[in-house]
Structure 1
Amino acid sequence: MSVVELPALLRRAVPALAVALACAGIAAPSAAAEPGSGCAPATSTTALPAAVPVLDWSENLGFDRQGNLWVSRLYRNEVQRYDSAGQLTARIPVEFPGAVRLGPDGLLYVVYGDAPTSVVRPGGVVRFDPAAAEPRPEIFASGFTMPNGAAFDTDGTLYVASATGVIRIGRDGAVDTGWTERAKLNANGIAIHDGTVYLTSNGGPLGRVLRFPITDPGYRTVLTDLTSSLPGVPDFADDLLVDDAGAVYVTTLSGQLVRIDPNGQSCRVLTGEPMTSVVAVPGRPGELLAGTERGTVLRIQLAP
């Protein structure tokens, strides 16, 4: 078994165990809430096809200031740039890339080491100029265990979601150790909206979506615990975004895009293949892009 197979196996292992327990008559945690069908359904089309299924696994997505789409190809160990016509225009080597986010300085920040190997070969964040003729990644911060998600706040501080917690990084690349020490929990996807940090967490229970104030990372509230399409069986909550109205959209391993209201009520807006990430399309309200395990990038149109 190669090391690049491990992230997929880890993501599938817990849902499979939950299915086995359900079949054996062992109940799932009662806190889990199956997404309802009260939302108007979204529609999806293919924005970018997968050249080689699974090898092209699209772990995360982000846009630069020029409107180019950047895709983290986890198994290819690179981030790829696509123009507005969907043409591949650049390949930048990054080891096991995760979240790709535009910084306040116009640089792209890419999480690296999004794999179990980061236990012995720690991951971190690299950054580069996306407009350069030949972008060259440089290490911005390092020493993290399986970092995955990332988000900037309005002050330009970077927050990285990792297997050991949320890491707060200043604009100089220094880790705020005091804040970070108070944010220790299993974290996967992360988004920041209106002074609040939103997280997906799969460390107990599976499929948890929670939030806390930036000013108090120890004060956490649970939005909901998601289940798969099988009633009572927990799902793996992957990436998320928060829209201007405060609604949270979460992608899951079972292939759901779930919308969660600020009061915690959830509903399923799309069902399909396993989705790894979600990003809003700049300048196009109601339009999202989603990465998938197969590698296809989906274009999702939310209902008005």
Structure 2
Amino acid sequence: MKFRTAVRLPLLAAVLAAGVAVPAAHAAPGCPQARVEVAVPAGVPVLDWSENLTVDADGNLWVSRLWRQQLQRYDAAGALTATVPVEYPGAPRLGPDGLLYVVFGDAPIAGDRGGVLRLDPAAAVPVPEVVVTGLTMPNGADFGPDGQLYVATATGVVRLRTDGPIDPGWSIDAPAANGIAIDGDTAYLTSNGDALGRISRAPLADPAAHTVVADLTDAGLPDYVDDLLGYDGALYAATLTGRLVRVDPATGASCAVLGTEPLTALAADPARPSTLLASTEGGSILRITPGE
């Protein structure tokens, strides 16, 4: 199992104005405690917001710096080795062809000018090539077993066919869709439209059969859910209040295994399969070891 952002700023302000503190690093009572360490330190506040991330086949870390409008590459030692201009970048994902696909236009100011580009992750100076445009705030993305790219946008989920264009006969109706993770023949996604903090699923063969898995709340506070990842048979979701939430995809039962700074996305690290990488609004990249 493999398993946004400007609009989050007003929501965070409302949460803080209501006197609700972003929690310190801890797990909820009864949840297995996750351990966290800093893999890449934070930079300039807000400007270095890390929106999403992935690890390529050579072990390089790719980070989308939303407000810098850059995609950055770091080597295994944490050194910055490449910077690619990308307009409001969202999820970077390694394709079956070995190229890195990156969604762009992940901000309200971009309107419907969002899309997907691709580049050679091994190039000394990667040169992006636009694959498709016309998407509204594309954010999360994942490749399915069919080799097609599934993209979560402000208006729902679309599928990018292997030959390039958007498949007009396939979509998931999910307002304010955010993250997406494909597991076999099922798409799991996060959204904050019909309800804040919603995790749902849909069969790839029948996207209209879209059902709710869980709605994430904490002490009555609806929590904005960002991206998600499948790991060790469970779904892990990143949230605005800094919770890392473990969700059982079969029952919908959820448990916050970590409370830390506001999280934006999660990624697996093939070099260290017992840990997860997390991007943050503060700009740091965290390495998290889920509890047993």
**TM-score, structure 2 normalization:** 0.91
Q: Conserved in 2, the CA contact under 8 Å of 1:192 and 1:198?
A: yes
> What residue in structure 2 maps to residue 286 of structure 1?
274
Q: Classify the secondary structure of the residue corresponding to 2:169.
A: helix
1:241 corresponds to 2:229: yes
2:81 counterpart of 1:81: no
Indicate the SS of the match to 2:106: coil
Residue 181 (structure 2) pairs with residue 191 (structure 1): yes
Aligned CA distance change for structure 1 residues 22 and 92 (closer, same or farther; 3 Å): closer
Match of 2:84 in 1: 92
Using the TM superposition, give the Cα deviation of residue 39 of structure 1 relative to its aligned residue in structure 2, in angstroms. 2.6
SS at match of 1:177: strand
Distance change in 2, residues 1:176/1:271 (3 Å): same
Matched, 1:166 2:154: no
Unpaired runs of at least 5, structure 2: 21-26
Shift of the alpha carbon at 1:63?
A: 1.2
For the pair 1:146 / 2:134, whether they are aligned, the reply is no
1:216 aligns with 2:206: yes
What's the CA shift string for 1:101-124, capped at 9, x where partnerless? 0000000001100000222x5100
Q: Does 1:256 align with 2:247?
A: no
Superposition deviation, residue 56 in structure 1 = 0.6
* Whole-Å separation in 2 of the counterparts to 1:267 and 1:226: 9
Q: Secondary structure at the match of 2:110?
A: helix
Change (3 A) 1:204 1:20: farther
1:265-280 mapped onto 2 (5 Å cutoff): 265-280=253-268
Q: Which amino acid counterpart does residue 33 of structure 2 have in structure 1?
A: P
Q: Are the aligned partners of 2:59 and 2:271 in contact in 1 as well (CA < 8 Å)?
A: no
Residue 215 of structure 2 corresponds to 225
Matched, 1:39 2:26: no
2:43 aligned to 26, 43, 51, which one? 51
Per-residue CA distance 1:5-41 (angstroms, 9 max, x = gap)? x944x21434655788999xxxxxxxxxxx9643311
Q: 1:67 aligns with which of 59, 63, 69?
A: 59
- Note closer, same or farther for the CA distance 1:15–1:78 as it changes in structure 2 (3 Å cut): closer
Tell me the distance in 1 between the aligned counterparts of 2:286 and 2:229.
15
2:95 maps to which residue?
103
More strand by share: 2
AA aligned to 1:134 is V
Indicate the residue corresponding to 1:127 in structure 2: 118
Q: Normalization by structure 1: what TM-score?
A: 0.88
Q: Distance in 2 between matches of 1:49 and 1:164?
A: 34
Distance change in 2, residues 1:215/1:183 (3 Å): farther
Instruction: Provide the residue aligned with 1:28 in structure 2.
Output: none
**Count of matched residue pairs:** 282
Structure 1 runs not aligned, ≥5 long: 1-5, 24-34
CA distance in 1, matches of 2:15, 2:264: 20
Distance apart, 1:87 and its partner CA: 0.5
How big is the shift at 1:51?
2.1
Conserved in 2, the CA contact under 8 Å of 1:36 and 1:266? no
Q: Distance in 2 between matches of 1:197 and 1:168?
A: 11
Whole-Å separation in 2 of the counterparts to 1:113 and 1:187:
14
Equivalent residue letter for 1:163: A
CA contact (8 A) 2:229 2:237 kept: yes
2:19 and 2:290 map into 1 onto residues whose CA distance is 33
Shift, 1:185, TM fit = 3.2
Corresponding residue of 1:26: none
Aligned residues: CA RMSD: 2.0
1 CA distance for matches of 2:274 and 2:223?
25
- The structure with the largest helix share of the pair is 1
- CA drift at 1:70: 0.3
Q: Using the alignment, how far apart are the partners of 2:290 and 2:194 within structure 1?
A: 31
The amino acid of 2:279's aligned partner reads G
